[in-house]
């Protein structure tokens, strides 16, 4: 997450707390998306989550993503039953979704910090974005 928030910081400094806040939000979001994907897989009579269960049509190459796949796999399994498997294309799809959302949150947090006249992005900026957009954890 640190590299994602920094690439959106537009020259601002980034507090460790901001990175942690973004990490928590993205982790919670990924776990929630996996729960929904597991429900979709169950409705189809499957125990394997597929990319389509995450609502994506195309899956990017994993080399194009900043987020490593192994932590995303752990995020996907946080709130789902152990009987589910997560296909590689589903892991990549989830990583793509989470990276895009992390970019959006990080860019907005940078704007909020600039608007506040600060040169450092703080956790409060990440949290404020969540409040303004009703971003669901």
What is the rounded distance in angstroms from the CA atom of residue 13 to the CA atom of residue 21?
15
Taking the CA of residue 133 as centre, how many other CA atoms within 13 Å lie in the half-sphere pointing to its CB?
15
CATH topology of domain 2-133: Histone, subunit A (1.10.20)
What is the rounded distance in angstroms from the CA atom of residue 58 to the CA atom of residue 119?
38
What is the rounded distance in angstroms from the CA atom of residue 59 to the CA atom of residue 126?
27
What mean pLDDT do residues 91-100 have?
Answer: 97
What mean pLDDT do residues 69-92 have?
Answer: 96
Report domain extents, the chain. Answer: 2-133
Give 135's pLDDT tier (boundaries 50, 70, 90). Answer: low
pTM, two decimals, is 0.92
pLDDT digits (tens, 9 = 90+) for 62-75: 999 999 999 999 99
pLDDT digits (tens, 9 = 90+) for 18-56: 999 999 999 999 999 999 999 999 999 999 999 999 999
Chain mean pLDDT for the chain: 94
What is the rounded distance in angstroms from the CA atom of residue 109 to the CA atom of residue 126?
5
How many CB atoms within 10 Å of residue 92? 22
Q: Show the tokens assigned to 61.
A: 């190459």
Three-class SS state of 96:
helix
């Amino acid at each position: 997450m640190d590299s994602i928030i920094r690439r959106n910081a537009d020259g601002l400094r980034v507090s460790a707390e901001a990175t942690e806040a973004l990490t928590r939000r993205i982790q919670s979001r990924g776990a929630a998306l996996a729960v929904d994907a597991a429900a979709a897989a169950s409705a189809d009579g499957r125990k394997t989550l597929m990319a389509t269960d995450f609502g994506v049509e195309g899956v990017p190459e994993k080399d194009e993503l900043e987020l490593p796949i192994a932590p995303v796999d752990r995020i996907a399994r946080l709130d789902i039953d152990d009987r589910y498997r997560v296909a590689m294309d589903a892991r990549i799809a989830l990583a793509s979704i989470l990276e895009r959302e992390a970019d959006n949150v990080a860019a907005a947090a940078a704007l909020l910090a600039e608007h506040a006249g600060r040169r450092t992005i703080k956790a409060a900026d990440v949290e404020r974005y969540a409040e303004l957009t009703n971003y669901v954890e």
